[in-house]
Amino acid sequence: MANLSFVIPMSVMTLFWGIIGGVVPWFIPKGPNRGVIVTMLVLTAVCCYLFWLIAILAQLNPLFGPALKNDTIWYMYYHSS
């Protein structure tokens, strides 16, 4: 699959924030602060996941590429893949 390198980070991050927002709240012990802690976990998971998702989707299909100085290009041509 050409998109394997996209599927892996996608599923890892979704799983990670999904666990934090959907699974960990069930394990918070009962007490006066349970409601607040669960709210914080869910909101954190939603916000951080959304933020990461926007960043990766914005770069999925770029309309233009970076413009580099010619010595940077020369260096990168000879010293990296």
Site residues (vs another protein, CB under 8 A): 2-3, 5-6, 8-9, 13, 32-33, 35-36, 39-40, 43-44, 47-48, 50-52, 54-70, 72-74, 76-77, 80-81
> Given the complex with another protein, which of 19 and 76 has the nearer CB atom?
76
Token reading at 23: 């699974």
Distance CA 37, CA 71 (A): 52
Least distance from another protein to the Cβ atom of residue 59, Å: 4
Give me the amino acid identity at 13.
Answer: M
